[in-house]
Amino acid sequence: MTSSTPFRELLDSDGVQEVCHLRGKLGFMAYHGGSLEVLTDVVADRAAQRSGASYYGVLQPPDLNWHIPSHLVAPAESDVLYGFLQHVDAVVTIHGYGRHGYWTTLLLGGQNRPLADHFAAHLRPELPDYRIETDIDVMPSELRGLHARNPVNLPRQQGVQIELPPRVRGVSPIWNDWQGPGLVPHSDALIDALVAAATTWVTAQDD
């Protein structure tokens, strides 16, 4: 009998949703979405929809909080993920993290450094209250997104891993009084920047 892997077990768990929309050759991913890394799937999905990019997400229900390390999120365990990674040329993976000293820092890792610099150039003017970090050497090693089996590095042109602190995702205490409507302003600005970056990247590749 073949034993199941953690990622396959997660996908087979009650209430877990695996979502994929194949559109453009640039893709957004959020496979720690739902209740785990809050709002990452919303950010990735909305940015993908508005820019015509493809999207892959794994959403956990409120009663589940299971973190599968990125290098174990394997396309061999999911035909849907495999098809997504075969379809796109490059990918932007949206993650959430929280760490002392990094509450207002977005980390842009992954092996496609020109793509990281391109997205950073769009994020900085939209999020002036945040540090947009692209220097791999100063990032915590486990948040750099450089592992060869990390899905962000599997497409033909690899990709960029964006780690979002709680504040930009609207889950910081500073937003306790926010009544809406919609997402907090920083999250809206983040999505606007991702859409602009994705759209201009695709246009540049087509020229």
Residue count of the chain, please give it.
207
Q: Is residue 172 part of a domain?
A: yes
What local confidence, expressed as pLDDT, does residue 203 receive? 61
Q: Is residue 153 part of a domain?
A: yes
Q: Is residue 1 part of a domain?
A: no
CATH number of the domain within which 83 lies:
3.40.630.100
Strand 105-109 and strand 54-60: the pairing is unpaired
CA contacts within 13 A on the Cβ side of 101? 3
Mean pLDDT of 181-189: 97
CA distance 151 to 48: 17
Strand 105-109 and strand 159-164: the pairing is antiparallel
Q: Is residue 44 part of a domain?
A: yes
Spatial CB neighbours of 158, under 8 Å, sequence gap ≥ 6: 90, 91, 110, 111, 112, 115, 152
Strands of the sheet with 54-60, listed across from one edge? 17-21, 54-60, 26-34, 90-96, 159-164, 105-109, 131-133
Query: Which DSSP symbol is given to 138?
Result: G
Q: According to the 3-state scheme, what is the secondary structure of 75-88?
A: HHHCHHHHHHHHHC
Identity of residue 28? F
Give me the number of domains the chain comprises: 1
Mean pLDDT of 77-101: 97
Q: Is residue 101 part of a domain?
A: yes
Q: Is residue 145 part of a domain?
A: yes
CA distance 201 to 97: 26
Q: Domain containing 188: what range? A: 6-206
Q: Is residue 162 part of a domain?
A: yes
What local confidence, expressed as pLDDT, does residue 1 receive? 38
Asked whether 26 and 92 are in contact (CB, 8 A), the reply is yes
pLDDT in tens, 113-142: 999 999 999 999 999 999 999 999 999 999
CA distance 37 to 64: 11
| Residue in the structure block whose two tokens are 């997104």 | 145
What local confidence, expressed as pLDDT, does residue 204 receive? 63
